[in-house]
Amino acid sequence: MSTTTEPNLQEFVIDRTFDAPRDLVWKSLTEPDRMQQWFAPKGCTSRAVKMDFQPGGIYHYCMTTADGHEMWGKATYREIVAPERLVYINSFSNAEGGTTRHPMSKTWPLEMLTTYVLVDYKGKTTLIIKWTPLNATEEEKQTFATSHDGMRQGWTGSLDHLEAYLKTL
């Protein structure tokens, strides 16, 4: 008898191995000057507005598209275990840092639990990113479950930027 396992559509996972030491990848994920160099999907740039890097602290940022459209976001840090694990609640925000809905999807989850795990192996680093809706309605969970292709595209673009940035160091 064979069994198949349904994928967990309530969790999105993507990973990438970088030819860079874990400490450097960690700094690139946690220092605002470094994050501004890569933390955006293809065609976008980002800028840090505020960073209070401690549990309960907030990273407030703005992503700008090529045509000048701004999308604000914030991360509220829950767990920081340098250089191996970072957990935060990610949400869209306004320029003042208040939590808002996704600007293009009213049924996108208001909050996302984001986990980064960094694994060191022979001088290379594998970054595993997990995204899970937090306190989401059934409709929001469904929107999330049907959006994995778009999330993969966005994260792939950001990870491509990170890979290019790490090669310059």
Per-residue pLDDT at 9: 60
Q: Which residues contact 167 (CB under 8 A, 6 or more apart)?
A: none
Q: Which residues contact 155 (CB under 8 A, 6 or more apart)?
A: 14, 41, 129
Per-residue pLDDT at 3: 41
The answer to whether 60 touches 82, Cβ cutoff 8 Å, is no
* Structural domains of the chain, with CATH: 12-167 (3.30.530.20)
Query: Which structure tokens are listed for 59?
Result: 């990273």
Per-residue pLDDT at 8: 53
Q: Which residues contact 111 (CB under 8 A, 6 or more apart)?
A: 89, 90, 91, 99, 133, 134, 135, 136
CA distance 148 to 35: 23
CA distance 40 to 60: 14
Helix (H) or strand (E) run with residue 66 in it: none
Residue tagged 């208001």 (tokens): 110
Per-residue pLDDT at 2: 40
Q: Is 168 strand, coil or helix?
A: coil
Query: Which structure tokens are listed for 82?
Result: 């340098």
Task: Name the pTM for this structure.
Answer: 0.92
Per-residue pLDDT at 10: 84
User: Residue-wise pLDDT tens for the chain (169 aa)?
Assistant: 444 444 456 899 999 999 999 999 999 999 999 999 999 988 999 999 999 999 999 999 999 999 999 999 999 999 999 999 999 999 999 999 999 999 999 999 999 999 999 999 999 999 999 999 999 999 999 999 999 999 999 999 999 999 999 999 9
Per-residue pLDDT at 166: 98
Residue tagged 């960690």 (tokens): 26
